[in-house]
A and B are shown apart, each in its own frame.
Chain A
Amino acid sequence: MSAADITGRLARYMVEARERSLPPDVAREARHRILDTLAAMVSGAHLKPGEMAIKYARAQGGAAEATVVTTDIRTTAINAALANAMFAHADETDDFHPATKAHPGCCVVPTALAMAEREGSSGTELLNAVTLGYDLCCRFLMALGADLVRATHRSAEGTSSTMGSVGAAAALARLDEKGMRHALSYAAQQVSGIWSWVRDAEHVEKAFDSRATPRARRKIRWTRRA
């Protein structure tokens, strides 16, 4: 198999993972991560990043696809994912991956929840999507080398959050292999963020590391129409 087919292998894996029956221990861990992140979202909604996100989401309006938790706002999945992700990392109660220091929950779970609401997905579909998102979030950074990314002054967190979220969103969008390839490519183009976020003690700037995620999902929608 040629090295050039790495994207194809990953895209096929993503298609298969969508339907795969999870081992009981993996499913249990995924449920725990989802509950843990929902709790982080709810508790973070009242802190400064949360208040800013609510103000922003309310001003955006948009089709009532997904919930901004702890509010009466229902907005586009894109806006809801952004607001809920800002909540989720507002107080550092969210999970993290020790090997890479990635924070999979605060990007993957809000994206998956918003997309699942939009699509009317089942709980099992949400569980599989979150599991795939965690895999992509952490494994992309392990493959790239988290310290190598950080050594270039770029945000490793921006890379992991974008690729993790697109994995979850693409699964719930039920993309085929070609769609998965496009989603991965669009997401990779939107990876962003620089190390200066570490100076922001109020956890607002970091939200921009993951802002590419909702945009990637919007492009996935274009892919689906194509």
Chain B
Amino acid sequence: MNAKARLLMAPVLGAEQTDGVIRRVNALEALADVRELRPFLARAGR
């Protein structure tokens, strides 16, 4: 699943943001506020 997600997301979000999404979703129970995903899913200038 991580590999599929990386393949689909990295061309759009870049490697750094993509890894940020994957890490946080895989440890979703540790996320205090879903808004912490915002900087990894958004992209400036588009």
- Interface residues of chain A, those whose CB is within 8 Å of chain B, are 27, 31-32, 34-36, 38-40, 42-43, 45-46, 54, 67, 69-72, 74, 93, 113, 116-117, 120-127
Contact = CB atoms under 8 A, between A and B. Distances in A.
13 contacts: A32-B1, A35-B22, A38-B41, A39-B8, A42-B13, A117-B34, A122-B32, A122-B33, A123-B29, A123-B31, A124-B28, A126-B28, A127-B28
Contacts of A36: 1, 4-5
Contact of A43 (B12, B37, B45): B12
Contacts of A39: 4-5, 7-9
Interface of B: 1-2, 4-5, 7-9, 11-13, 21-22, 24-35, 37-38, 41-46
A94 to B, nearest CB: 11
Dominant secondary structure of chain B at its interface with chain A: helix
B34 A69 contact: no
A43 B8 contact: yes
Q: Which 9 residue pairs are nearest across A and B when measured between Cβ atoms?
A: A123-B31, A123-B28, A116-B34, A43-B8, A39-B8, A39-B5, A69-B41, A35-B25, A42-B9
Point out which of B27, B41, B44 has the most chain A C-beta atoms below 10 A from its C-beta. B41
Contacts of B34: 113, 116-117, 120-123, 125-126
Contact of A117 (B2, B27, B38): B38
A46 B43 CA distance: 13
A167 B46 CA distance: 31
B26 to A, nearest CB: 6
A51 B27 CA distance: 31
Contacts of B27: 123
Contact of A72 (B2, B12, B42): B42
Contact of B38 (A32, A54, A67, A93): A67
Nearest to B25: A35
Contact of A40 (B8, B13, B33, B38): B8
B1 A71 contact: no
Given A31-B25, A39-B9, 13 more contacts: A27-B29, A32-B1, A34-B25, A39-B4, A42-B13, A43-B11, A67-B42, A69-B42, A71-B42, A72-B44, A72-B45, A116-B34, A123-B30
Nearest to B30: A123
Contacts of A32: 1
Contacts of A46: 12
A42 B12 contact: yes
B9 A71 contact: no
B22 to A, nearest CB: 7
